């Protein structure tokens, strides 16, 4: 008997954000497949290799979950945690200074055995899969908004978040800048891209 397919974008409220508005949200602890790197994602080959490995493992895990656990789900969107010694580089878009952790949501019912099998299945086509780890991210209180358009146009929105909204609300940084990507920049016009911009915060 077919099982109901779980879709994180519909079932997890923090995958929804409003355009041109900053909202405070409580993000629940979520499980991810993660891989680390640094440098400009548009120019360092390591970035494309990392993303390829993430999707290879995530689709293999989905297959294993359906086969072994009889639980199906929609593979989540690509997400990224970003950091830099100088946070202003996110506004100025100095990407060579960025450190990143790319990741894809994984359902919490996946067993270590299913995860290991997924990595093993992905390795022949995506050797970087051996660098992946599965980890729970607990961000808690966050500010987020939906950005529409090219990634390089995020600067003014982030400047408003950092320099206006957060000080006005008495909030401080409490984690890495987080982006959730809806759409594929290889197939979509820049103006049609949608990205959740999320910043974990704490009250000052």
Q: How confident is the model at residue 203 (pLDDT cuts 50, 70, 90)?
A: very high
Task: Using the predicted structure, report yes or no on whether residue 87 has a pLDDT greater than 90.
Answer: no
The residue segments making up the domain with residue 71 are: 8-203
Helices assigned H by DSSP within 41-111: 45-64, 89-92
Task: Using the predicted structure, report yes or no on whether residue 6 has a pLDDT greater than 80.
Answer: yes
Tell me, yes or no, whether 175 lies in a domain.
yes
Tell me, yes or no, whether 160 lies in a domain.
yes
CB 8 within 8 A of CB 73: yes
pLDDT score, position 1 = 43
State the pTM of this model: 0.92
Tell me, yes or no, whether 154 lies in a domain.
yes
Tell me, yes or no, whether 1 lies in a domain.
no
Name the more confident of 189 and 47.
47
- Count the domains in the chain: 1
* CATH number where 192 lies: 3.20.80.10
Query: Among 201, 139, 185, which residue's Cα sits nearest to residue 14?
Result: 139
Tell me, yes or no, whether 170 lies in a domain.
yes
pLDDT score, position 3 = 54
pLDDT score, position 28 = 97
- Residue-wise pLDDT for 118-148, tens only, equals 999 999 999 999 999 999 999 999 999 999 9
Tell me, yes or no, whether 29 lies in a domain.
yes
Question: Residue 155's CB: how many other CB atoms inside 10 A?
Answer: 14
Tell me, yes or no, whether 72 lies in a domain.
yes
| Burial group, residue 174, by CB count within 10 angstroms (0-12, 13-18, 19+) | middle
Tell me, yes or no, whether 149 lies in a domain.
yes
Query: Among 69, 51, 50, which residue's Cα sits nearest to residue 6?
Result: 69
> Helix, strand, or coil here: 199?
strand
């Amino acid at each position: 008997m077919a099982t109901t397919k779980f879709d994180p974008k519909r079932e997890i409220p923090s995958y929804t954000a409003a355009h041109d508005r900053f909202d405070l949200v409580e993000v629940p602890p979520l499980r991810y497949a993660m891989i680390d790197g640094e440098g400009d994602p548009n120019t360092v080959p390591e970035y494309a290799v990392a993303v390829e490995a993430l999707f290879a493992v995530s689709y293999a895990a989905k297959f294993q979950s359906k086969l072994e656990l009889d639980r199906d789900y929609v593979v989540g969107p690509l997400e990224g945690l970003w950091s830099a010694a100088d946070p202003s580089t996110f506004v100025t878009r100095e990407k060579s200074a960025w450190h990143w952790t790319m990741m894809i949501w994984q359902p919490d019912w996946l067993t270590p055995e299913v995860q290991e099998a997924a990595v093993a299945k992905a390795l022949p086509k995506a050797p970087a899969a051996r660098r992946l780890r599965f980890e729970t991210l607990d961000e808690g209180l966050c500010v987020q908004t939906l950005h529409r358009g090219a990634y390089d146009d995020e600067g003014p929105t982030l400047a408003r978040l950092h320099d206006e909204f957060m000080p006005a609300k008495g909030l401080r940084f409490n984690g890495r800048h987080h982006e959730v990507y809806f759409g594929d920049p290889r197939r979509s016009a820049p103006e049609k891209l949608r990205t959740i911009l999320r910043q974990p915060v704490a009250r000052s």
